[in-house]
Amino acid sequence: MSQFEFKTTGSAVSSYIKNENQGVGLESKISLLKNDLEQVAQLPKLGVSIRRIGDVKLYPFTDFFKGFEKVDAVRSTFGGKTDEVLEDLKVEFFSFKYGYMAVSDVDGHLLISTHHLKNSEFRVLYLDIVHELVHVKQFMEGRKLFNPEFEYVDNPTEIEAYRHAVKEAKRIGMRDEEIIEYLKVEWIDEDSLNRLVTSVGLKVPQK
Ligand SMILES: [Zn+2]
């Protein structure tokens, strides 16, 4: 759902993944060693060392989310590749309370807040997954998920994902007011929310 968590935790997550990927190949090992030496060189000054490779724990998407391969809103995203994509999809959990779900712009896996997973309403999680899977597809197509040129609600990749989720929200019987409530997130102000509401084809409620 959000690009927000990437602004706060995402860069850390991405750099973990990037560093882990550097583990392949002799040349990169040498450059890692060089980095280590550079760190060691700074030791006398600060008296600390930093191990720069953190493991990212990934779980199969299907261990947590069952039956999504049968949902039309998901099948329309991936077409004939639906089963394959969901079988291969991985999930990483983070315990940060703020932020909900996102897709890694490094390798396209899902990131989910354990707090959100445990406490949010079922249909919110359902719609978030429908939304995030659009980002998974966008990532597969090589599209840029996090685009600093745009505000969150104006990012074309977000608008596409939100439109898709809103269509599904209507199909499962949610009323417009409920959908607008679903679209509200802490990091967007009223103007941005109204732009998003309009972008997904809903009417901004009159006060
Ligand atoms: Zn999104």
Q: What is the pLDDT of residues 145-185, one digit of tens each?
A: 999 999 999 999 999 999 999 999 999 999 999 999 999 99
Q: Note whether residue 11 is domain-resident.
A: yes
CA angle 167, 172, 174 (to 5 degrees): 80
- pTM metric for this prediction: 0.79
Q: Note whether residue 204 is domain-resident.
A: no
Distance from the CA of 34 to the center of ligand 1, in angstroms?
38
Q: Note whether residue 90 is domain-resident.
A: yes
- Residue for token pair 């002799």: 26
Range of the domain at 191: 4-199
Compute how many other C-beta atoms are within 10 angstroms of the C-beta atom of residue 127. 24
Distance from the CA of 161 to the center of ligand 1, in angstroms?
6
Q: Note whether residue 44 is domain-resident.
A: yes
Q: Note whether residue 80 is domain-resident.
A: yes
CB under 5 Å of ion ligand 1: residues? 158, 161
Q: Note whether residue 58 is domain-resident.
A: yes
59 φ/ψ angles, rounded to the nearest 5 degrees: -120, 150
Q: Note whether residue 18 is domain-resident.
A: yes
Q: Note whether residue 207 is domain-resident.
A: no
Compute how many other C-beta atoms are within 10 angstroms of the C-beta atom of residue 72. 9
Count: domains in the chain: 1
Confidence of residue 46 (pLDDT cuts 50, 70, 90): confident
126 residue type, one letter: Y
For β-strands 90-94 and 59-60, DSSP reports them as: antiparallel
Distance from the CA of 25 to the center of ligand 1, in angstroms?
34
Distance from the CA of 56 to the center of ligand 1, in angstroms?
22
